[in-house]
Chains A and B, each alone.
Chain A
Amino acid sequence: MTSYNTKYETHTHDVVVVGAGGAGLRAAIEASSQGLSVALVCKSLLGKAHTVMAEGGVAAAMANVDSADGWQTHFKDTMKGGKFLNNWRMAQLHAQEAPDRIRELERWGAVFDRTPDGRILQRPFGGHTYRRLCHVGDRTGLELIRTLQDKGVHSGIDVFMECTLTHLLKDGDRISGAFGYWRESGRFVIFNTKAVILATGGIGKAFKVTSNSWEYTADGHAMAYNIGAEMIDMEFIQFHPTGMVWPPGVKGILVTEAVRGEGGRLTNNKGERFMQNVDPERMELSTRDIVAKAINREVKEGRGSPHGGVFLDISYRGADYIKKKLPSMYHQFMELADVDITKGPMEVGPTTHYTMGGLRVDPESQQTNIPGLFAAGEVSAGMHGGNRLGGNSLSDLLVFGRRAGLGAAEFAKATQQFPSINDADVEKAIVEVSEPFERDKGESPYAVHRDLQDLMQNKVGIIRKEAELHEAVTELQALKERARVCSVEGSRQFNPGWHLALDLRSMLIASEAAARCALQRKESRGGHTREDFPEYDAHWSTVNSTIRKDGDAMAVSTSPLPEMPSELKQLFEEAK
C-alpha cells in the first residue's frame, strides 16, 4: 500500500528489512515465505551490497573434505577465535545450522566449486581446524548474493533500491516504522510497519585504510542507538592482516585470506617466515588478530617491504592453479598494481575489515531490546566475540538472516494492528535531514570525513593506548560539532555530498562508541589491543562492553557474559 502527500510518500508493509546484503536478503526471503508483505530497502542497487565483495568462502561443517568435522568443532573454533567473548548460544546455533543454509543455497541455484566426487569443495582458512570453507574460487560473496537476489525477486518482496533510511520511528516503546529519502530524487519516504530488521552492515568507512565501501557508515547502529537500542563490544574491530598497500589509490583493498588458505607464505624483508616465531603450529593460518599484529610489528621494527607492508607469496603454486583458484586476486594485482602474483610476491598490510561489535540481539530471534526491532549480519553482535574467523560472516548472514526473518514474521503476525506513526517525530526527522541545505557557510562534509578517518586510523586503530583514546574521545566531540554545521551544495537530487553529511552523523556515533569502549577495556583481546595493557585480563573475560544512549550522552558500561551450559563447556575439556 502506498500513499502520497506533498512532503513524503508512505508505504505499509508487515516487515521492513533495511539492507540487501546476505543478511537482509535471507531475512526478507524468510519473512516473505511466512506469507507477509515485505519491503527490502537498500542504499545501493540490488546485488551491490558489501556481501558481493566477499571472496574466500563461507564456513560450514559439511565434512565433505574432512569427514571428522562437525558442528562441535566449528563451535569450538569459533569460541576460541572469538577469545570466548562470543555469545555461546549464537556460536552454537551458527555451527549447527550453517550446513543446512549452504544446502539451501545450492537448492536455490548456487554453484560451488566441487570435490572430485561431485560434492561441495571446502578449503582451509585461519582458525578453522578442518577444511571448512565452501567457496567459488575467490568470488564466493558474488555467488551468495546473486543466488539470494534471484530467489528474492521471485518471492514477491517489494524492493526499494537506492533508498536510504535515516530514522527509526516508534509508537510508545515498540517500533512503528522508518523514515528516509530516495537517493535519486531526494524525496522523503516513510515506511509504516510492524517489525523492522536491520541488516545494514558495519562501520569501516570511519577508518582511512579500509576494505569497506562507502555504504559502511554505521547507519543501522546509529538509527537503533538513537531510539534506545543497546550496542555491545564496539571496541572489537577486525583489522584484516592482508590488504593491498600499494599503489596509494588501492591501499586497504582486501587480499583474501584464501591466498593463505591455498598456501600463501608471509615473509619480511629478510626473507624470514616471521609467523614461525608467533604461531609455529598454525603459521599463516593463525587467527586474523594474531597475524595482523605480527605484520604490524615487522613493519614497525624495520623489516617491512618497500611500501610499508610485508611479502605474501603464492607463486610457487604455479600459474594455472593460481588463476583457477584465485582469479580475482590475479586480476586485481595485475591490473591495479602491475604485479603478477603467479611470478612473485605481493605486498600486504593490515586493513580495517569487520565490526565484531554492534546491536545486542536475542540469539534465537535476533530481536533487540526494542520490541519489533531485529538485527542480523554485521550490524548485530555476539556471534563473533572478540575476533571473527574468516568465512564465519557469510554463514552468520544466512543462519541469523533466516532467524531474524522468522522472528520478525512471528512478531508481526502477533501484532493485530499497524502501530501508528508519530507526526512530530516525522517533522523532526525532516528538519534534521534538510538542515545541511539551510547553511551556506559550513565546511564540506568531505573535509570532516577525512579528519574522522585520520583520527580513527591513528588513535583507535590496531594498537591503542590510554592517552590517545582520551584524545580521540575529545576530538570526536569537536568533529561532531563540525559535522553538525557542515553545509552542502546543489539540489536534493542524487547528491553524494548531502548523503555523506547525513552518513557522517552515524559514523560519529559508532566511532565514539568504539573509542569509549576501547578506553574502558583495560586489556588486550582479539580485535582490541592496548599497548598499555598487553595481556588478557580475568575480569574482562567475563563481561561484554555495553553502550546506550542516556539523554544526549553516551553511556558505556559492562554486562556479564551469558554463561555457557556445562555440556558445551565439556567440549573444551575433552579437547585437553
Chain B
Amino acid sequence: MSKQAVFNVYRGSQEGGDFQEFTVPVEEGMVVLDAMHYVQGFLCPDLAVRWNCKAAKCGSCSAEINGKPGLMCKTRIDDLPIESPVSVQPIKSFPIIKDLVTDVSWNFEMNKKITPFTPDNEDVSSWRYYQEDVDRVQEFRKCIECFLCQDVCHVIRNHEQKPKFVGPRFMVRLASLEMHPMDRVDRLPFIKEEAGIGLCNITKCCTEVCPEDIHITDNAIIPLKERVVDEYYDPVVGLLRGIGILPKRNKKKP
C-alpha cells in the first residue's frame, strides 16, 4: 500500500465551522496544494481553495499549515511530520469567506491609497539608470502579494491598530516607489501619518514568512523609518532646512 497522510482541513464560513478529516495518498515530492486538489477531485468537490500557478509565483494559495503561515504550493509533504494529522486552515488576519478562502479585499483598498509612480520627466527614451540603482527596488518588486506578511503582523491582528497601518506588504510597495530613481513624489507624510509606520516595532515576523525572501524590515521598513525620523523628528535639521541653510530633503540620497 502506498503512503498516506491525514489532513485536518478547516471547513466553514462566517457562520462558523470545524475541521474535517481527509486521508490522502502521498507521492514523492507532493505539496500540500496537491493534497487539497486530491480532496477536491475525489473526496469533497466543493472544498474552497485559491490557487493559480502552483509554482510560488502568484501568491494565491496562502494558508496556515500546522499553524504555520505558508504557500500551499511550496510546502512539501515530505517536510511535514505526517505521523500525525496535518492541519490546514485559512490565514487568520482576514475574514473567512469559505473553507481556506479569505476576504483579502482590504489589501487592495490599501494599495489604492498609495500615490502611484510619478516620473521626473515623461521622455523615457532619455532615461538612464543603472542596475545597482535598482537592485533594491527590484527586490521589493518581487512581491507576489501572498499577504502572508500581513497575516502574521501583530499590528494588523490588533483590531484597534489595523485601520491605522497599511502593513508590511505596502511598506514594501512604498519603499519600491520611494527608492525608484525616476520617481519624484514625496510620500513621507503619507508613510508617517496614514500608513502608520510608527506602529511597526520591528519584530521581523513579516520577513520570516516572506516566500520571496524580501528583507521587509531591514531593507524596506527600517530605511523608511530613518527617512521619516530624518524629516520630522530632527528639529535642528528641520530648522536649518526651513531657513534655507540646508537643502530641502532630497529623497534620492546616494
Interaction A to B: yes
Chain A residues within CB distance 8 Å of chain B: 44-50, 52-53, 103-104, 106-109, 111, 113-114, 116-119, 136-137, 139, 142-143, 146, 150-151, 153-154, 161, 184, 213-215, 246-250, 253-254, 328, 331-332, 335-338, 444-446, 450, 488-491, 493-498, 500
Indicate the size class of the contact surface on chain B.
35 or more
Residues of B within 8 A of A103 (CB): 124-125
- Asked whether B112 lies within 8 Å of A154 as measured between CB atoms, the reply is yes
Verify B45–A111 contact, CB threshold 8 A. Answer: no
Nearest Cβ distance between residue A75 and chain B, in whole angstroms? 22
Question: CA separation between A332 and B73, bound complex, in Å?
Answer: 11
Chain A residues whose CB sits within 8 angstroms of the CB of B112 once the complex forms: 153-154
- A560: shortest Cβ distance to chain B, in Å? 39
B45's nearest neighbour on chain A, judged by CB, is A497
Q: Are B52 and A214 in contact (CB under 8 A)?
A: yes
Q: Is B111 part of the contact surface with A, judged by Cβ < 8 Å?
A: yes
Whether B40 contacts A496 by the Cβ 8 Å rule is yes
Q: Is A114 within 8 A of B131, CB to CB?
A: yes
Q: Is the CB of B45 within 8 A of A335?
A: no
Report the separation of the CA atoms of residues A329 and B122 in the bound assembly, to the nearest whole angstrom. 35
Interface digits, B127-139 against A, CB 8 Å rule (1 contact, 0 not)?
A: 1111101100110
Tell me, rounded to whole Å, the shortest Cβ–Cβ distance linking A200 to chain B.
14
Classify the secondary structure of B's interface with A: loop
Of the listed stretches B95-103, B191-199, B221-229, chain A binds B95-103
Residues of the B chain whose Cβ atoms lie less than 8 Å from the Cβ of A496: 40, 45-49
Interface residues of B in 1-58 (CB under 8 A from A): 13, 27-31, 34, 40-42, 44-58
Sample of 4 more A-B contacts, CB < 8 Å, known A142-B142, A335-B74: A113-B131, A146-B141, A153-B111, A161-B105
| Of the residues A53, A108, A111, contact of B137 by C-beta under 8 Å | A111
**What residues make up the interface of B, taking CB atoms closer than 8 Å to A?**
13, 27-31, 34, 40-42, 44-60, 74, 76, 97-99, 101, 103-105, 108, 111-112, 116-117, 119, 122, 124-125, 127-131, 133-134, 137-138, 141-142, 144-145, 177, 180, 183
- The answer to whether residues A139 and B45 also contact, given A213-B53, A249-B31, A331-B56 and a CB cut-off of 8 A, is no
Which A residue sits closest to B147, measured CB to CB? Answer: A45
**A253 contacts B55, CB within 8 Å?**
yes
Which residue in A111, A119, A247 is a CB contact (below 8 Å) of B29?
A247
Contact of B51 among A108, A114, A214 (CB under 8 A): A214
Which residues of B sit under 8 angstroms from A109, Cβ to Cβ?
Answer: 116-117, 177, 180, 183
Cβ B31 vs Cβ A336 within 8 A: yes
* Residue of B with least CB distance to A487: B45
B52 near A249: Cβ-Cβ < 8 Å: no
Could you jot down 25 A-B contacts, CB within 8 Å?
A45-B104, A48-B59, A103-B124, A106-B124, A107-B124, A118-B127, A118-B130, A137-B138, A139-B57, A146-B141, A161-B108, A213-B58, A248-B27, A249-B31, A249-B34, A250-B55, A328-B56, A335-B56, A336-B31, A336-B74, A446-B40, A493-B97, A494-B97, A494-B101, A498-B46
- Cβ of B48: which chain A residues have Cβ within 8 Å of it? 493-496
Q: Given A248-B30, A335-B74, A488-B45, verify A48-B125 contact (CB < 8 Å).
A: no
Select B141's contact among A143, A328, A335, beta carbons within 8 Å: A143
Q: Which one of A107, A114, A445, A489 contacts B134 once the chains associate, using CB atoms below 8 Å? A: A114
**Do B27 and A247 touch across chains, with their CB atoms under 8 A apart?**
yes
